[in-house]
């Protein structure tokens, strides 16, 4: 019996091996590497006289970031704020904040972002040499539309930063962002210009003419200077795109955009713009349904200032503006930009819808009133 089992096992192995045999041709086929059919002509050369380019010497070196920082560092300040908010039980609590700024004038004039100091009841400015100064809300001048602000502190002979021409920047230029990231004190981080004349929606408005940079931007950097390799301020760090997988997308307000605003804040205390005297909101299907508006596209007026150009032109709450100076408007932001792009004392044509009827009126824009402090 044992002999029979061994015989059957051997037969199984033989049969299995027979099923796995590889058939090898008697005459090997010629190797493709050595085969040259007689009926194929060789390919024509592109250029028989061509020679490969010579290797170039890589002698260029990066600029000294340390030298750049040394020159502008004394002009950069850290800003600490205290904002009083209400908790879930409507009890007041103090919310600390941190930001950055830089000296534009030796007589204690500091430039920063509006969102750094907005709503702050206490603002503390610390210079690079360690000296600290307190600024009351009366010494803080803001322009929310441009996200810029100016702080006046009681100091003189401060090291003012040099200003550069942001219009001369090119994509790829080296820049350095200096500020107070995460409230941990002054830091510097290098990067390059990755985009110019960029627009970015921030908090229901759009900032335009921004510089996009790969320099690391973090909370607390806001208001600090973005400088070129000549240690000149060419932008004010303002925002960062944050998200999963997003890196190297920080933004700064260019000096071309910022300087006229800063100058107006210093000279007038506020920025003078054309004024219609309305509060606006973008209309969509939901807004139209809730407010029973006759159209679901345009800009609805939610408030008309008494005695304003809009009031004198006969505009009312819940009127929906659809065209301004002959151009269609679909968002509140778009209409605000159109108003600010007009001129003081300019008479503008406004088309609006009221009770399903489209009407036309004309308003004479005036100078915007000073903001309440």
User: What would the pLDDT profile of 291-337 be if each residue is shown by its tens digit?
Assistant: 999 999 999 999 999 999 999 999 999 999 999 999 999 999 899 98
> SS3 for 336?
helix
10 is a domain residue? no
Q: Which domain holds residue 321?
A: 274-367
**CA distance linking residue 33 with residue 44, whole number of Å:** 20
**CA distance linking residue 140 with residue 121, whole number of Å:** 10
Catalytic residue among 75, 100, 194, 222: 222
Among 103, 106, 116, which residue's Cα sits nearest to residue 233? 103
Same domain (yes/no): 282, 263: no
pLDDT the model gives residue 12? 46
Catalytic residue among 75, 80, 115, 214: 115
Q: Based on the structure, what is the number of domains in the chain?
A: 3
Same domain (yes/no): 76, 122: yes
H or E element in which residue 309 lies = helix 309-312
Same domain (yes/no): 250, 282: no
Active site residue 222: yes
Catalytic residue among 75, 100, 146, 147: 147
pTM over 0.85: no
Active site residue 80: no
Same domain (yes/no): 136, 179: no
Q: Per residue of the chain (373 residues), what is the pLDDT tens digit? A: 444 444 444 444 444 444 443 444 444 555 554 454 556 788 888 888 988 888 777 666 777 899 999 999 999 999 999 988 888 888 888 889 999 999 999 999 999 999 999 989 999 999 999 999 999 889 999 998 889 999 999 999 999 999 999 999 999 999 999 998 888 888 999 999 999 988 887 666 677 889 999 998 888 889 999 999 999 999 999 865 544 344 557 899 999 999 999 999 999 999 999 999 999 999 999 999 999 999 999 999 999 999 999 999 999 999 999 999 999 999 998 999 899 999 999 999 999 999 989 999 999 999 998 876 5
Per-residue model confidence as pLDDT tens digits over 194-247:
999 888 876 666 778 899 999 988 888 899 999 999 999 999 998 655 443 445
Half-sphere exposure of 87 (CA within 13 A, CB side): 6
Q: Which residue, 152, 177, 210, sits at the end of a domain?
A: 152
């Amino acid at each position: 019996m044992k002999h029979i089992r061994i015989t059957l096992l051997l037969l199984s192995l033989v049969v299995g091996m027979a099923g796995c045999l590889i058939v090898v041709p008697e005459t090997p086929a010629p190797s493709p590497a050595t085969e040259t059919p007689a009926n194929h002509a060789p390919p024509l050369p592109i250029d028989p006289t061509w020679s490969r380019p010579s290797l170039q010497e890589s002698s260029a070196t990066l600029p000294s970031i340390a030298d750049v920082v040394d020159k502008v560092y004394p002009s950069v300040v850290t800003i600490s704020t205290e904002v009083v908010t209400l908790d879930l039980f409507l009890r007041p609590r103090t919310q600390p904040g941190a930001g950055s700024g830089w000296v534009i004038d030796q007589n204690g004039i500091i430039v920063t972002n509006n969102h750094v100091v907005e709503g702050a009841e206490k603002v503390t400015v610390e210079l690079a040499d360690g000296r600290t100064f307190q600024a009351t809300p009366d010494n803080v001048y803001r322009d929310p539309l441009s996200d810029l602000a100016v702080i006046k502190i009681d100091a003189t002979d401060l090291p003012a930063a040099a200003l550069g021409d942001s219009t001369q920047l090119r994509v790829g230029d080296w820049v350095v962002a200096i500020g107070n990231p995460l409230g941990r004190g002054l830091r510097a981080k290098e990067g390059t210009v990755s985009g110019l004349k960029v627009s970015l929606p921030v908090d229901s408005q759009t900032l335009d003419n921004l510089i996009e940079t790969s320099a690391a931007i973090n909370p607390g950097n806001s208001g600090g200077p973005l400088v070129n390799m000549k240690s000149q301020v060419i932008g004010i760090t303002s925002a960062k795109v944050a998200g999963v997988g997003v890196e190297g997308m920080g933004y700064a307000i260019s000096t071309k955009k910022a300087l006229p605003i800063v100058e107006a804040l210093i000279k007038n205390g506020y920025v003078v713009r054309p004024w219609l005297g309305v509060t606006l909101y973008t209309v969509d299907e939901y807004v139209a349904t809730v407010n029973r508006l006759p159209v679901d596209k345009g800009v609805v007026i939610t408030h008309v200032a008494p005695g304003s150009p809009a009031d004198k032109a006969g505009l009312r709450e819940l009127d929906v503006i659809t065209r301004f100076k002959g151009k269609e408007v679909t968002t509140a932001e778009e209409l605000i930009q159109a108003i600010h792009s007009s001129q003081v004392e300019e008479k503008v044509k406004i088309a609006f819808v009221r009770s399903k009827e489209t009407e036309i009126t004309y308003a004479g824009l005036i100078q915007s009133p000073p903001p309440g402090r």
